[in-house]
Structure 1
């Protein structure tokens, strides 16, 4: 068969995902076919799933209103004229046209492919950064974003009180998501979130080193209790490495050749 069921409300034909859903029996009189089917215009399972779910939700809402129209009006027999029945609201059929991908869909594509095996912080950074864009500019198709949107996004980040370095990280993540999703979809676009001006030094303060007396005090306290937590504190204070780097070391990685130092040398990690 050329068609195989892959995800809810979808099937695949020649590599393209299609939406498919049966029309409820009580609503078939409103349709010319017992089944609704059309192309989702994508080969990506993630995008197809998001689009199919959106259309299915729209259909559920639309069918609810159709059912309401077909229900007998309470007290209808008491009306003076049949034509005096209040008109039903004009409910529009769901829009099933797509030009590319929404930013929210782009995040799903990005994390679904590049997020495999990555840390939870990687996923949260993409979701949070693009969530800022959606809050400031709306969830648009990628090619619909403009430089005005990017500038409004920058202003929103500044209003949040983010420092210049934090804004740089957020913009970098947004650019990466858009560029990756556009490449996957075969879209050619100029990323408006590139080259946006802002003060990269705003809110950034220079870090001063800890006084040697404070380091010596921490190391002295670490010698008082012989356990793994104190070893970790002493190792970080003596080497300056990050906490995650120190916590991932094994005892055989530590080479102590200076009795004056708690941990003088660490085996290079490959």
Structure 2
């Protein structure tokens, strides 16, 4: 049952090809075995090679996302959160009652699962991106764990990005909508720290000069 070099990530057993891949050592805590192995359900080397390479690519993508969860990297806010399965149970505590809190990531999932139905992709991206900025600046905390200090640090991080006052207002509005909605849905009492944060609303917004009255008229041919 040696790995088939001409057909990567496979070995042959009783005439059938099997996929095999060792779990990276830094990710083994996520698995119950050090190796992933399953039948590719084919005797054809061509078919087995295609299926094995596709499975390997899917694993590489999955392992990337497992690693990214544990690493604070630039641009982490741009990753799609994709945690709808967590949202299904985020508002239920282990004893069946209301949860004491949910994380911001879970709050986004709740918000999009319930309010995102039929909404355009821009609606989903705005919620994920705006709350992703919070996670980048302050971490993925429970909703009741965020403080005014966190909200001010979030504001400073947005200002450091060179965003205009109107953009910051829009982002703060989205964060408040997500957190307030998730808190209401899960029965959490929340004194939202992202309310009443000071910044210059007009920063970076240029006033448009009015067109001159009675100015020269360009001739046309």
1: CA distance between counterparts of 2:135 and 2:121?
A: 21
TM-aligned CA deviation for residue 187 of structure 1: 0.4
2: CA distance between counterparts of 1:106 and 1:207?
A: 39
Residue 169 of structure 2: aligned partner: 168
Residue 64 of structure 2: aligned partner: none
Q: Note the alpha carbon deviations across 1:62-102, whole angstroms, 9 max, x for none.
A: 7458x9xxxxxxxxxxxxxxxxxxxxxxxxxxxx9874211
1: CA distance between counterparts of 2:104 and 2:195?
A: 16
- Equivalences, count: 132
1: CA distance between counterparts of 2:30 and 2:145?
A: 27
Given the alignment of the two structures, is residue 107 of structure 1 paired with residue 76 of structure 2, yes or no?
Answer: no
Higher RCO structure, 1 or 2 (CA under 8 Å, sep 6+): 2
Equivalent pair of 1:132/1:153 in contact (CA under 8 Å): yes
The 3 A distance-change label for structure 1 pair 186 and 99 is closer
2: CA distance between counterparts of 1:186 and 1:129?
A: 23
1: CA distance between counterparts of 2:198 and 2:211?
A: 34
Partner-residue secondary structure (3-state), 1:125: helix
State the 4+ residue runs in structure 1 displaced beyond 3 angstroms: 62-65, 96-99, 208-212
Moved more, 172-181 or 116-125: 116-125
Greater CA radius of gyration, 1 or 2? Answer: 1
Residue 43 of structure 2: aligned partner: none
Equivalent pair of 1:99/1:141 in contact (CA under 8 Å): no
TM-score (normalizing by structure 1)? 0.43
Partner-residue secondary structure (3-state), 1:177: helix
TM-aligned CA deviation for residue 61 of structure 1: 2.6
The within-5 A match list for 1:70-149 is 99-149=100-150
The 3 A distance-change label for structure 1 pair 107 and 59 is farther
TM-score (normalizing by structure 2)? 0.52
Q: Report the RMSD for the aligned CA atoms in angstroms.
A: 3.1
Unpaired runs of at least 5, structure 1:
1-57, 68-95, 221-270
2: CA distance between counterparts of 1:59 and 1:163?
A: 44
Equivalent pair of 2:100/2:188 in contact (CA under 8 Å): no
The 3 A distance-change label for structure 1 pair 100 and 204 is same
2: CA distance between counterparts of 1:166 and 1:156?
A: 13
Residue 199 of structure 2: aligned partner: 198
Given the alignment of the two structures, is residue 181 of structure 1 paired with residue 150 of structure 2, yes or no?
Answer: no
Partner-residue secondary structure (3-state), 2:178: helix
Equivalent pair of 2:130/2:175 in contact (CA under 8 Å): yes
2: CA distance between counterparts of 1:61 and 1:118?
A: 34
